[in-house]
């Protein structure tokens, strides 16, 4: 029996009409996988694929969906040599994934010597929305499509720590100033001027506000709205919690060079403790029970689609 909140969270998908879903679940092409060491990764993969497919079937039963194709694919990176499409989910290993795509594409010899700025600000990789419609359809139908996801609360806390607890020349003045101005009563001049020092509770007030003073951002946008997993039939669903094994198994599937392994290093703030379930618990303590529930409701679809346990 769905609560009102859960019914509301149905709207992102139910607003569209046009194509019938879900598309058929195609078997993964495993002809390039060598050796028996990938048995566990493969079995986890098949479970995730069929779980998401069944979820979408149930969720979208007989619903027609319509949204602009170019918008649907705007977060998908293309690697033409190995025929890979990767939908970027920030805070779920995306920097290292982009490094790997650059190596696959012949733009770099190793993932280890590509800087953070080069990954995010160098225009090295093409996105799917930069092709014409025929190019988009051909790639969607013939390339191996992957998405890597993460426990929603962990991803949220990781994004907050990264963007608001370290100096940042974009997030502090753009988001920080607006958040402090609206949600901090008696804010001092310094905080209003710099936008630094946003508290987690204030950030959550902004996230849950239907009249946000500044728009959403990809670092905390729901995966259901970034990658549209019920509209685009992803062949491979990786999880941050098993990132290395999943990523290296995927590289086998697409016939990557044997020496290319998914990098282990933390992209930025490498001395910080990684955002774990325990770290998340500390942050959630700052919220009221109602705020915690509403934050869960906000990510409700992501929890459901990818079979994450509610916190």
Residue recorded with tokens 């506000």: 209
* pTM of the predicted protein model: 0.88
Tell whether the model's pLDDT for residue 301 goes beyond 90.
yes
pLDDT value of position 8: 44
8 Å CB contact between 155 and 92: yes
For residues 235-247, average pLDDT: 96
Mean pLDDT of the chain: 88
For residues 196-223, average pLDDT: 97
8 Å CB contact between 147 and 238: yes
pLDDT value of position 271: 65
pLDDT value of position 65: 53
Task: Give the residue extent of every domain in the chain.
Answer: 38-153+218-275+301-306
How far is Cα 249 from Cα 269, in angstroms, rounded to an integer? Answer: 27
Across 1-5, 12-16, 279-283, the highest mean pLDDT is recorded for 279-283
Length of the chain: 311
DSSP string for 97-148: HHHHHHHHTTS-S-GGG--HHHHHHS--SEEGGGS-HHHHHHHHHHSEEEEE
- Six-digit token pair at 82? 């190995």
For residues 266-284, average pLDDT: 83
- For 139-159, how does the pLDDT look when each residue is reduced to its tens digit (9 = 90+)? 999 999 999 999 999 999 999
- Six-digit token pair at 164? 């608001």
For residues 219-228, average pLDDT: 96
pLDDT value of position 235: 96
More confident residue, 203 or 66: 203
Hey, how many other C-beta atoms are within 10 angstroms of the C-beta on 126?
16
């Amino acid at each position: 029996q769905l609560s009102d909140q859960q019914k509301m969270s149905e709207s992102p998908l139910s607003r569209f009409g046009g194509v019938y879903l879900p598309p058929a679940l195609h078997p993964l092409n495993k002809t390039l996988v060598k050796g028996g060491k990938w048995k566990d990764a493969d079995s986890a993969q098949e479970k995730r694929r069929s779980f998401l497919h069944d979820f979408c079937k149930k969720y979208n039963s007989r619903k027609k969906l319509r949204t602009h194709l170019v918008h649907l694919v705007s977060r998908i990176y293309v690697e033409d040599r190995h025929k890979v499409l990767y939908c970027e989910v920030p805070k779920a290993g995306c920097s290292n994934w982009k490094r790997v795509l650059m190596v696959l594409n012949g733009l770099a010899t190793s993932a280890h010597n590509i800087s953070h700025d080069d990954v995010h600000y160098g225009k090295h990789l093409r996105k799917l929305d930069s092709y014409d419609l025929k190019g988009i359809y051909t790639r969607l139908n013939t390339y191996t499509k992957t998405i890597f996801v993460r426990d929603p609360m962990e991803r949220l806390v990781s994004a907050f720590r990264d963007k608001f607890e370290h100096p940042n020349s974009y997030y502090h003045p753009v988001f920080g100033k607006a958040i402090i101005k609206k949600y901090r009563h008696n804010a001092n001049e310094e905080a209003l001027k710099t936008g630094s020092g946003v508290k987690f509770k204030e950030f959550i007030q902004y996230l849950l506000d239907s009249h946000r003073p500044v728009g959403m951002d990809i670092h905390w946008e729901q995966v259901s709205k970034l990658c549209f997993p019920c509209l685009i039939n992803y062949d491979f669903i990786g999880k941050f919690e098993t990132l290395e094994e999943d990523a290296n198994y995927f590289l086998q599937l697409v016939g990557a060079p044997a020496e290319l392994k998914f990098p282990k290093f933390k992209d930025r703030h490498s001395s910080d403790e990684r955002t774990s379930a325990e770290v998340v618990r500390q942050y959630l303590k700052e919220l009221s029970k109602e705020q915690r529930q509403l934050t869960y409701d906000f990510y409700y679809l992501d929890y459901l689609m990818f079979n994450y346990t509610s916190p």
